């Protein structure tokens, strides 16, 4: 499994959480509502998590907050078993990243959380658990996720359309400037004189502000669908119809065209999609198994 796939999936487990920071609340008597592997979860922790839910627009309420805290206690217990620790610096960095993601300064985010009555420990506990669980995922879950290359090949071949089954070496001929009607007319005159890639530059010398750019090798799946369909109907030495682009009018000339055997481009997307799905499923199963074996006592 490519590291990039897992990195994106693992990163999504943190970024998806709107976490917070605020001033400490006055100390008062707390009642333990749940104990998870010896770790107590109090009524104050639950009420604080409910307030955090409210800030996020999460309607999970007391039940949802309790379940999330149980999950986090289980996750932290597993992290401890695996020798995983989370430093205060990691927590601080995660908080800063959240502030940036929602385009707030750290001070503004603190103020928002303070106004919501959210305690500092609520943020720290949730952040620490999320970071620890990402580490557990990387260490214990990712190695279990396997994607069959044979299966990817079969799926990729099944998804490949006829017009996508070509590799090209292309040149772009672009007529630079505003006035799309005039530039399109110039492009069509060029097109009528085009006799293959070898003479592409020579022909362009007869036109003002015309440039020939070596695009290089492209698989049809790397091209916009409309262009891929048009090029599929042309032979080597053919040139596409003019199309208006941001800086003028463009055409693509086919210098080489071969039947594609490399499905890398489609397989890359499939691998990412299947990898993320498989990882998400495996992480959920791993946590569910941990909860089944955890000692959870409700008071």
Q: What is the pLDDT of residues 118-161, one digit of tens each?
A: 987 788 889 999 999 999 999 999 888 776 666 666 666 556 67
Same fold yes or no, 3-147+273-298 and 161-259: no
CB 115 within 8 A of CB 23: no
Helices (H) and strands (E) in the chain, counts: 11, 7
CB 200 within 8 A of CB 213: no
Q: Which residues contact 210 (CB under 8 A, 6 or more apart)?
A: 173, 174, 175, 176, 186, 190, 204
User: How high is the mean pLDDT of the chain?
Assistant: 84
Q: Which residue has the higher pLDDT, 163 or 189?
A: 189
Average of pLDDT values for 78-104? 94
- How do strand 166-176 and strand 210-219 relate by DSSP bridges? antiparallel
pLDDT above 70: percentage of residues in the chain? 81
CB 35 within 8 A of CB 297: yes
**Token duo for residue 80:** 């401890």
pLDDT at 268: 62
| Residue among 296, 248, 273, 295 nearest 67 (CA) | 296
Q: How far is CA 290 from CA 83, 123, 264, 285, 286, in A?
A: 16, 24, 37, 9, 6
pLDDT digits 0-9 by tens, 54-90: 998 998 999 999 999 999 999 999 999 999 999 999 9
pLDDT at 9: 42
**What CATH number does domain 161-259 carry, 3.30.70.360, 3.10.50.40, 3.30.1300.10, 3.20.20.80?**
3.10.50.40
pLDDT at 8: 44
Phi and psi dihedrals of 16, rounded to 5?
-65, -10
Residue 61 per-residue DSSP state: H
**Strand residue runs (E) in the chain:** 32-36, 39-42, 166-176, 210-219, 243-245, 248-259, 296-298
**270: pLDDT confidence band, cut at 50, 70 and 90?**
low
pLDDT at 94: 93
Q: Which residue has the higher pLDDT, 49 or 28?
A: 49
pTM for this structure?
0.56
**279: pLDDT confidence band, cut at 50, 70 and 90?**
confident
Q: Which residue has the higher pLDDT, 184 or 264?
A: 184
**What CATH number does domain 3-147+273-298 carry, 1.10.1740.110, 3.40.630.30, 1.10.4030.10, 3.40.50.720?**
1.10.4030.10
- Residue ranges per domain, the chain? 3-147+273-298, 161-259
pLDDT above 90: percentage of residues in the chain? 60
pLDDT digits 0-9 by tens, 1-18: 444 444 444 444 433 443
């Amino acid at each position: 499994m490519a590291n990039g796939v897992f990195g994106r999936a693992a990163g999504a487990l943190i970024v998806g959480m709107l976490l917070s920071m605020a001033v400490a609340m006055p100390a008062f008597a707390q009642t333990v509502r749940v104990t998870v592997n010896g770790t107590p979860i109090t009524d104050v922790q639950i009420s604080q998590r409910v307030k955090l839910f409210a800030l996020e627009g999460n309607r999970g309420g007391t039940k949802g907050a309790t379940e999330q805290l149980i999950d986090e206690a289980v996750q932290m217990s597993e992290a401890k078993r695996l020798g995983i620790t989370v430093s205060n610096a990691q927590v601080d960095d995660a908080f800063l990243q959240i502030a940036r993601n929602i385009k707030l300064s750290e001070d503004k985010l603190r103020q928002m959380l303070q106004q919501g009555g959210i305690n500092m420990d609520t943020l720290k506990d949730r952040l620490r658990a999320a970071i620890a669980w990402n580490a557990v995922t990387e260490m214990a879950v990712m190695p279990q996720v396997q994607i069959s290359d044979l299966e990817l090949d079969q799926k990729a071949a099944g998804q490949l359309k006829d017009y996508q089954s070509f590799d090209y070496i292309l040149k772009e001929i672009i007529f630079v400037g505003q006035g799309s009607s005039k530039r399109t007319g110039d492009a069509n005159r060029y097109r009528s004189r085009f006799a293959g890639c070898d003479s592409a530059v020579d022909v362009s010398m007869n036109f003002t502000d015309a440039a020939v750019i070596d695009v290089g090798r492209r698989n049809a799946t790397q091209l916009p669908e409309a262009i891929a369909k048009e090029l599929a109907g042309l032979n080597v030495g053919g040139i596409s119809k003019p199309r208006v682009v941001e800086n003028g009018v463009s055409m693509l000339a086919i210098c080489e065209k071969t039947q594609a055997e490399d499905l890398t481009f489609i397989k890359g997307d499939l691998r990412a999609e299947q990898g993320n799905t498989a990882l998400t499923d495996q992480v959920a199963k791993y946590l569910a198994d941990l909860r089944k074996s955890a000692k959870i006592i409700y008071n």
